[in-house]
Every structure is written in structure tokens, then in C-alpha cells.
Amino acid sequence: MRSLTILAVLLAAAPALTACGGTADNAAPTKTVTVAPPSATAPASSPTAAPSSAQASPAKKIRVPNVVGKNHQAAQDNMQAAGLWMLQEEDATGQGRMLILDRNWQVVRQKPKAGTSVTPEATITLYSKKIGE
């Protein structure tokens, strides 16, 4: 019953809305504007243009932390805390095993060595062996 009342109100209001210019016949015409992408209309950069700040400043360097002797998970955490996210891992025994449970492995060597300054995009390789081996 209530839904019929709401429907009746909406239907009664429809003619009033149309009288106020709510139809497409009374609508103002719309304008269409086409804009070319900046690369198509912008003039080529002159060779004397000033370099952007990203090009002018050298890449930020990060000092590689020493993680030799730590369990592999803690070593990864330390590298990431320093801002180094490109990490590779290898089985230091040469058996080619995958480091599935990082906490069961201990870092025995790292490349590059601790203290080396690298960019944030540098790849750090951690060579680990299972604890107790």
C-alpha cells in the first residue's frame, strides 16, 4: 500500500517537472570540445631547457647493513628497513634449495658487502644455509 502511495506521488509530480523544462526538447544544446593531447600540440623542448630536479640531483645512496650471521627473515627485514627492497636469496651450500621458511636459514654472505653505498634500486643477494649446517 505504501509503495503505491509513493508511486502515485511520483506520477503526479512528473507533469510539473516537464513543465519546468525537464524534457530533452527544452534543454539547451550542449557544446562538444575536442582537445588534442599535449604531446601533439606542444612544441619540442629546446636543448637549452633547464633539467628537472629529478635529473639534476644524483640518486640517493643507502649504506648496505651488515646482516651476516642473522637469520634470513631478520636479514630481509633489516634490508627493507634500510630502504633496500630488491632482494635475492641463494642457497650458500650450492645445492640450489629454495629458502621456504626464512627463519630456518642463516645468512653467511651478502653481496654487495656491508657498508657499501648503493642506490635504492640495487639488487642485494643474501647467501644463506640452513641453521645447524
| pLDDT tens by residue, 2-61 | 545 555 555 565 555 555 554 445 555 545 444 445 554 445 554 555 455 455 556 799
Q: Cα separation of 30 and 21, whole Å?
A: 15
Residue 108's SS3 state is strand
| pLDDT tens by residue, 93-127 | 999 999 999 999 999 999 999 999 999 999 999 99
pLDDT value of position 34: 43
Cis peptide before 112 (omega within 30 of 0): yes
| Element at 127 (helix H, strand E) | strand 124-130
pLDDT value of position 69: 97
**Closest alpha carbon to 108 in 90, 87, 83, 85:** 90
pLDDT value of position 66: 98
Tell whether the model's pLDDT for residue 131 goes beyond 70.
yes
Longest dimension (CA), the chain: 88
Q: How distant is the alpha carbon of residue 65 from its chain centre?
A: 24
What does pTM read for this prediction? 0.57
Q: Cα separation of 122 and 87, whole Å?
A: 9
Mean predicted confidence (pLDDT) in 58-84: 95
pLDDT value of position 59: 74
* In CATH, 59-130 is 1.20.120.530: no
